[in-house]
């Protein structure tokens, strides 16, 4: 069984998460993505209880926090829950973070080894290959899927951009595919 991933972001990103779950097979357990429209949540008290249970059950936690989405509100609460529960947290922050304050997110990013900041969703997913797909497949297929995401790079860049982090990740995955 694939490891469980909880995702937190602005509600406007729900479609991205549903695609990653439904089309790409990532085992996302965040139920809020299926009720992200205005008026779709019957009880926020029930929703927050469910969110806590889903975070408690997950193996990995992703906070998607590009600078243009600032005002993360509930996503930061969800992240705090994940940190308190000692989950492996990946913070996708594809924008600049300032000095020692790490603004706009803050110094909590230095929580410890369980919190890792990455530049892209592809980098986060590459560090949790046991979270997808939910059915057994040859390692080469998993590596090719990781390479696909690595080629996407940062969402604000053209897919063929060549930042150092994404180039290195692509090279690592391509090497593993050759070795397969």
How high is the pLDDT of residue 157? 43
Is pLDDT above 90 for 17?
Answer: yes
Kindly state whether residue 68 falls inside one of the protein's structural domains: yes
Domain presence at residue 28: yes
CATH number for the domain including 108?
Answer: 3.40.50.450
Range of the domain at 40: 5-131
The reply to whether 64 falls in a domain is yes
Residue with tokens 């926020």: 44
Whole-structure pTM value:
0.72
Closest CA to 73 of 157, 121, 13: 13
H-run or E-run covering 169: helix 164-179
For the residues 122-134, what does the mean pLDDT come to? 78
Residue 156 is assigned to a structural domain of this protein: no
Q: What is the pLDDT of residues 158-171, one digit of tens each?
A: 444 556 766 676 67
- The Cβ of residue 2 has, within 10 Å, a number of other Cβ atoms equal to 17
**Mean pLDDT value across residues 20-24:** 89
Contact 166, 154 (CB under 8 A): yes
Q: What is the pLDDT of residues 140-149, one digit of tens each?
A: 555 666 666 5
At residue 97, the pLDDT reads 74
Number of domains in the chain: 1
177 assigned to some structural domain: no
pLDDT in tens, 48-88: 999 999 999 999 999 999 888 777 889 999 999 999 999 99
Does residue 179 fall inside a structural domain? Answer: no
| Residue 158 within any structural domain of the chain | no
As a whole number of angstroms, the distance between CA 9 and CA 71 comes to: 10
For the chain, helix (H) and strand (E) counts, in that order, are: 6, 4
| ∠ Cα 14 104 91 (to 5°) | 50
What pLDDT shows up at residue 86? 94
At 79-123, the pLDDT tens digits run 999 999 999 999 998 777 777 777 777 787 777 788 889 888 888
């Amino acid at each position: 069984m694939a490891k469980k991933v909880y995702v937190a972001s602005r509600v406007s990103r729900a479609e991205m998460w549903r695609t990653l779950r439904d089309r790409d097979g990532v085992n996302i357990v965040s139920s809020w993505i299926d009720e992200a429209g205005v008026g779709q949540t019957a009880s926020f008290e029930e929703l927050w209880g469910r969110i806590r249970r889903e975070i408690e059950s997950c193996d990995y936690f992703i906070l998607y926090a590009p600078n243009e989405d600032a005002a993360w509100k509930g996503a930061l609460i969800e992240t705090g829950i994940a940190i308190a529960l000692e989950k492996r947290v990946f913070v996708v922050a594809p924008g600049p973070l300032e000095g020692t304050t790490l603004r706009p997110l803050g110094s909590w990013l230095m929580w410890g080894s369980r919190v890792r900041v990455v530049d892209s969703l592809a980098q986060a997913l590459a560090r949790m290959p046991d979270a997808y797909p939910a059915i057994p497949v040859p390692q080469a297929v998993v590596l090719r899927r990781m390479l696909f995401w690595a080629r996407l790079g940062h969402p604000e860049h053209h897919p063929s951009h060549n930042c150092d982090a994404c180039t290195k990740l692509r090279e690592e995955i391509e090497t593993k595919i050759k070795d397969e």
